[in-house]
Amino acid sequence: MEKLTVLGAGLMGHSIALTAAWAKMEVKLQGIDQPDLERADKGIRDKLALLDANGLIEPGERERIRERITLLTSVEDAVDGATFVIEAIPEQLQLKQQFYEKLDDLCGSGTVLASNTSGLSPTAIARDMKRPSRMVVTHFWNPAHLIPLVEVVRGEHTDDETVGRAMTLLREMNKKPIEVKKDIPGFVGNRLQYALFREAQHILATGAATQEDIDTAVTMSLGRRLPITGPFMTADMGGLEVFDSISSYLFKDLNNDGESLAAMRKLVDDGHYGQKNGEGFYDWTPELSERMSRQREQELIRFLKQDMERKE
């Protein structure tokens, strides 16, 4: 089994470490300072309490899972002896390039260096490494402890052994990894997500529907079907001749703007960032924020329970 280290103790980093510990792995988690680690520890304990309350872990297992996570502030101490490192530092390319150049020297030649970036190029991240063949992206989706998908993305120099080890580790962590065979912007998940979001913005801009009704159209149709059938299986089940016919006339009318549309841009320019600061496409009152966060979390837990039952 790999000796795992997670660098970066923020929301994604501590959730990744929790995922590993939940799968009975020992893991080191590194944060920038003691307050950073204290926040991570609280986040881990809060998530464990939720898992416990929903029957996802065995009675009395909370503390045993927490004890598998060692908290450290030193990068050098955290990577000492590691065979697999997952980096979850801020999404800044230059920062990551400098970090991987440092990790390349700190870690033994057999250590896999993986980034949790949600869209930055693994080829670009590994630019200054002496051994870029051992660098790969492992993109966990937020919340990392509840969503099964992890995208394993090759850089131009990533070798097969590195990809294979990443896929094996993630399966041992009870994740559902997919291999992205080419270094493409946004990988797979975000390309699909943002294609839908671009069209949603366009429909809003034309005045054809309100943002509430556009959201309802997704949650009450596509959202009900997508957990079972992805786009290709949906097309097969619906009839390829039907999907071909609709594609032939609809594709020409779909939006292909190269940037965010006006409503989105104005919100951002006005400093309205959504749930995080109270106003976006919706007015995020504390009550709405708490209710929607809870509903999404509970729905993800429901799906996770189904996944676990299928394995039994």
**DSSP symbols for 134-182:** GEEEEEEPSSTTT--EEEEEE-TT--HHHHHHHHHHHHHTT-EEEEE-S
Q: Which positions ≥6 away from 140 have C-beta within 8 Å? A: 12, 15, 16, 19, 116, 147, 150, 175
Determine the pLDDT at residue 308. 85
Determine the pLDDT at residue 311. 74
Kindly report the CATH number that applies to the domain delimited by 4-180. 3.40.50.720
Determine the pLDDT at residue 312. 64
C-alpha dihedral sign at 167, 91, 99, 101: positive
Q: Is the peptide bond before 148 cis (omega within 30 degrees of 0)?
A: no
Is residue 154 a contact partner of residue 163, using CB atoms and an 8 Å limit? yes
Dihedral of the alpha carbons of 120, 122, 127, 130, in degrees to the nearest 10:
150
Q: Which residue has the tokens 């150049």?
A: 101
Is residue 88 a contact partner of residue 113, using CB atoms and an 8 Å limit? no
Determine the pLDDT at residue 261. 95
245 to 222, 242, 251: CA distances (angstroms): 19, 5, 10
- Using alpha carbons, select from 89, 159, 166 the residue that is nearest to residue 131: 159
- Using alpha carbons, select from 247, 248, 261 the residue that is nearest to residue 203: 261
Determine the pLDDT at residue 24. 97
Determine the pLDDT at residue 59. 84
Q: How many other CB atoms sit within 10 Å of the CB of residue 167?
A: 18
Is residue 140 a contact partner of residue 16, using CB atoms and an 8 Å limit? yes
Helix H or strand E segment including 267:
helix 262-269
Per-10-residue mean pLDDT, the chain, length 312: 97 98 98 98 97 92 97 98 97 97 95 97 97 98 96 98 98 98 96 97 98 98 94 96 97 96 96 96 97 95 90 69
